[in-house]
């Protein structure tokens, strides 16, 4: 006998993930456009995401548009609803996803791709776009991973690339105007910024299996929100039913990053830097706290220490919202100066030197010196922190064993600094976490190869030998997971069938290392005749890259120049020390006086000048 939803809810873990009704939820209605945002990860992760909140707000601004949400059901619930013939539904109106006009997936990381298929499947929607007629909703996807949409091109009708504020609103309006899916997709590709319709692009391959070209040979430019202050931002957040990963309000203080670390995709993808005004932030903070009841607010960006109004913003928020904790999760070591803390609970501080030696940090343009690292650590100890988390990468271009030993040296130096302190009440805990370098599109390292399993294992073995110290924990991630991420980060259309095959073998929630099914993934590759090494190899600088038809306004020549500088061990430095000519200046540039004002406020910028 089939079970009802109510019966299923009584049997699964954390049923409040599936019931909706969150505080601040808007009353459902049948709109002229019914849009459901799908986040291909579990409720607690998705509810913490800011991007989907902004997109929801943008679409809600369209008259008659109804926006709902859905998250990937944890496997226990997913299995139960499938067994009992219950189709995946939206949390607000509880209607099957199938009944919506448009479904938008947020692609935050490559390893959530199988979950997109999992959600479509649970919703009773055919996975491949060619199998979906007019009766099925338009399947759209956006988010950072959409910058190389090709691995998902067989499944998604329409990708939105770049900032979602304006183009999602425009897309929603257009969907209401259009009579058919075909008309909508065609017009969206022509009329809306940042739109990519895979059905309208033909990829031509050569005999060697490499890409020969694209037809039509026209670049798709990313959508760009020029002014965040005037852009939409949610005035209230849904309060998650159960504790989310981040149980707090979020202020995005700026988008983009001045730094240009050569491995960091976000640092290039979100260019140029756009800051919100202090006044806007204080007002939004007040509204978010009053309407949600959170007791913590985080100031988010890729590098919050670079936000030029930070010193004024922090006391202004504290004054207007007494008792509310401030969290600054993305502080660079060189901007941690004791006044700022990362989390309200002073348990441990997280820093990411990324590489063990100055040489390698220069290669990746991390632009932080050992003195700065130690100064930051010293200040952390003075503040009373006794736990330090350090993030490093393995397998970076030009990396040698000496660079890995440099990680050990940093740990030793931190211990020395701590030991030299008087009145130590608690012992020091250092956790060293390493992850395998993954070359990503639109970075100067987009052509680099990924280190092989053997190389990475040898590097980890070396670190394990060097780091068995009291009070130091060492963790690393699974190679297979990094390898898959590398394949799908730089994958072309042919890798899509691997995703589908892996899903059919039961791969879901691949980003969760405890669920990741290594053997099934490798067998999916084999079955599809796709070799991971074809994608983790070094790519030729003259090769056409799968994402070359997308224009994020970064000049390829600039990326190549940066690659050369990396090999020469030369730092380019932050944009604050002068325009480096990445290409964004051709489309968008802050006013000259603004830039010089920024120069004056940058510690490192002044040094560089």
Partner 1 sequence: MIVFRYTKTEGAEFISHLDTLRHLNKTFIRANIAVKTSQGFHPHMLVFMSSPIGVGLKSLAEYCTVDTDTSPEEFYTAFNAASPKGIKCVGAYYSEKNVNLASVITSAKYIIGGVNAFNAEEVLKAERFFVVNKRGEEKEVRDKIISVVPVENGIEAVLAAGNASLRPDVFASALKERYGGGHVKIIKTEAYIEGGKSVESLLKNG
User: Which residues of this chain interact with partner 1, rule CB under 8 A?
Assistant: 3-4, 6-7, 9-10, 14-16, 19-23, 239, 241-243, 247, 289-295, 345
Closest approach of partner 1 to the CB of residue 384, in Å: 9
Measured between alpha carbons, how far is 524 from 504 in angstroms, rounded to an integer?
Answer: 9
**What separation in angstroms does the CA of 48 have from each of 22, 41, 119, 245, 408?**
13, 11, 19, 6, 34
**What separation in angstroms does the CA of 562 have from each of 23, 76, 606?**
48, 47, 22
Closest approach of partner 1 to the CB of residue 305, in Å: 25
**What separation in angstroms does the CA of 264 have from each of 257, 269, 562, 569?**
10, 9, 13, 17
Closest approach of partner 1 to the CB of residue 84, in Å: 13
Inter-residue long-range contacts of 518-521, CB under 8 Å, 24+ positions, other chains counted: 518/478, 518/480, 521/480, 521/484
Measured between alpha carbons, how far is 99 from 36 in angstroms, rounded to an integer?
Answer: 10
Both tokens of residue 509? 């929630």
**Is the CB of 23 or the CB of 412 nearer to partner 1?**
23
A 10 A CB-CB count for 195 gives 26
**Is the CB of 280 or the CB of 344 nearer to partner 1?**
344
A 10 A CB-CB count for 65 gives 22
Phi-psi region of 339 (alpha: psi -120 to 50; beta: other; left: phi over 0): alpha
Closest approach of partner 1 to the CB of residue 13, in Å: 9
Closest approach of partner 1 to the CB of residue 381, in Å: 17
**Is the CB of 6 or the CB of 130 nearer to partner 1?**
6
**Is the CB of 53 or the CB of 332 nearer to partner 1?**
53
Both tokens of residue 65? 């548009």
Closest approach of partner 1 to the CB of residue 38, in Å: 21
**Is the CB of 247 or the CB of 534 nearer to partner 1?**
247
Residue written as tokens 């976000």? Answer: 266
Q: Cα–chain-centroid distance for residue 342?
A: 19
**Is the CB of 170 or the CB of 248 nearer to partner 1?**
248
Strands (E), 508-570: 550-551
Q: What value does the CA radius of gyration of the chain take, rounded to a whole number of Å?
A: 24
**Cβ pair 469, 475 in contact under 8 A:** no
**Is the CB of 50 or the CB of 239 nearer to partner 1?**
239
**Is the CB of 206 or the CB of 293 nearer to partner 1?**
293
**Is the CB of 288 or the CB of 310 nearer to partner 1?**
288
Measured between alpha carbons, how far is 204 from 216 in angstroms, rounded to an integer?
Answer: 10
Q: What is the largest CA-CA distance in the chain?
A: 74
Closest approach of partner 1 to the CB of residue 293, in Å: 3
Closest approach of partner 1 to the CB of residue 19, in Å: 4
**Cβ pair 172, 192 in contact under 8 A:** no
**Is the CB of 6 or the CB of 519 nearer to partner 1?**
6
Closest approach of partner 1 to the CB of residue 108, in Å: 24
Closest approach of partner 1 to the CB of residue 279, in Å: 23
């Amino acid at each position: 006998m089939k079970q009802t939803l109510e019966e299923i809810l009584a049997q699964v873990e954390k049923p409040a993930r599936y019931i909706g009704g969150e505080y601040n939820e808007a009353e459902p209605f049948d709109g002229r456009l019914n849009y459901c945002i799908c986040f291909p990860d579990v409720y607690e992760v998705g509810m913490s995401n800011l991007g989907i909140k902004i997109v929801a707000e943008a679409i809600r601004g369209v008259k008659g548009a109804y926006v709902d949400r859905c998250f990937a059901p944890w496997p226990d619930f997913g299995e139960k609803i499938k067994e009992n013939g219950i189709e995946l539904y939206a949390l607000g109106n509880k209607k099957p996803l199938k009944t919506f006009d448009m479904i938008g997936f947020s692609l935050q990381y490559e390893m959530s791709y199988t979950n997109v298929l999992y959600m479509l499947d649970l919703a009773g929607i055919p996975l491949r776009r060619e199998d979906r007629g007019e009766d099925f909703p338009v399947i759209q996807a956006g988010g950072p991973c959409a910058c190389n949409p090709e691995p998902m091109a067989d499944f998604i009708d329409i990708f939105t690339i770049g900032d979602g504020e304006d183009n999602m609103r425009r897309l929603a309006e257009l969907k209401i105007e259009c009579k058919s899916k075909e008309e909508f997709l065609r017009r969206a590709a022509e009329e809306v910024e940042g739109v990519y319709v895979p059905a309208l692009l033909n990829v031509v391959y050569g005999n060697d299996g490499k890409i020969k070209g694209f037809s039509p040979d026209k670049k798709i430019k990313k959508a760009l929100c020029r002014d965040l202050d005037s852009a939409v931002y949610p005035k209230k957040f849904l309060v998650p039913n159960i504790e989310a990963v981040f149980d707090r309000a979020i202020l995005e203080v700026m988008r983009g990053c001045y730094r240009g670390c050569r491995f960091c995709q976000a640092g290039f993808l979100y260019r140029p830097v756009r800051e919100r005004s202090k006044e806007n932030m204080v007002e939004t903070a007040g509204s978010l706290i009053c309407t949600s009841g959170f007791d913590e607010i985080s100031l988010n960006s890729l590098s919050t220490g670079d936000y030029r109004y930070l010193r004024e913003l922090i006391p202004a928020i504290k004054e207007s919202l007494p008792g509310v904790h401030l969290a600054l999760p993305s502080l660079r070591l060189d901007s941690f100066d004791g006044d700022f803390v990362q989390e309200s609970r002073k348990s441990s501080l997280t820093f990411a030197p990324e590489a063990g030696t100055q040489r390698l940090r220069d290669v990746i343009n991390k632009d932080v010196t050992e003195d700065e690292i130690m100064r930051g650590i010293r200040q952390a100890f003075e503040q009373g922190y006794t736990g330090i988390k350090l993030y490093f990468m393995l397998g970076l271009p030009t990396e040698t064993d000496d660079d890995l030993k440099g990680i050990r040296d940093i740990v030793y130096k931190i211990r020395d600094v701590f030991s030299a302190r008087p009145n130590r009440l608690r012992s020091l805990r250092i956790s060293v976490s390493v992850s395998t370098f993954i070359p990503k599109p639109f970075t100067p390292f987009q052509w680099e190869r990924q280190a092989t399993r053997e190389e990475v294992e040898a590097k980890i073995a070396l670190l394990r030998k060097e780091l068995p110290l009291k009070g130091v924990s060492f963790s690393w991630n699974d190679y297979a997971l990094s390898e898959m991420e590398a394949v799908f980060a730089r994958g072309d259309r042919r890798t899509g069938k691997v995703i589908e095959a892996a899903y059919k073998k039961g791969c879901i929630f691949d980003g969760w290392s405890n669920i990741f099914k290594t053997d099934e993934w490798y067998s999916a590759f084999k079955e599809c005749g796709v070799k991971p090494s074809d994608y983790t190899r070094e790519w030729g600088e003259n090769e056409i890259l799968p994402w070359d038809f997308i224009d994020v306004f970064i000049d390829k020549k600039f990326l190549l120049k940066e690659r050369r500088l990396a090999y020469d061990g030369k730092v380019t430095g932050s944009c604050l020390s002068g325009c480096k000519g990445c290409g964004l200046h051709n489309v968008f540039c802050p006013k000259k006086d603004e830039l010089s004002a920024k120069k004056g406020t940058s510690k490192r910028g002044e040094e560089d000048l």
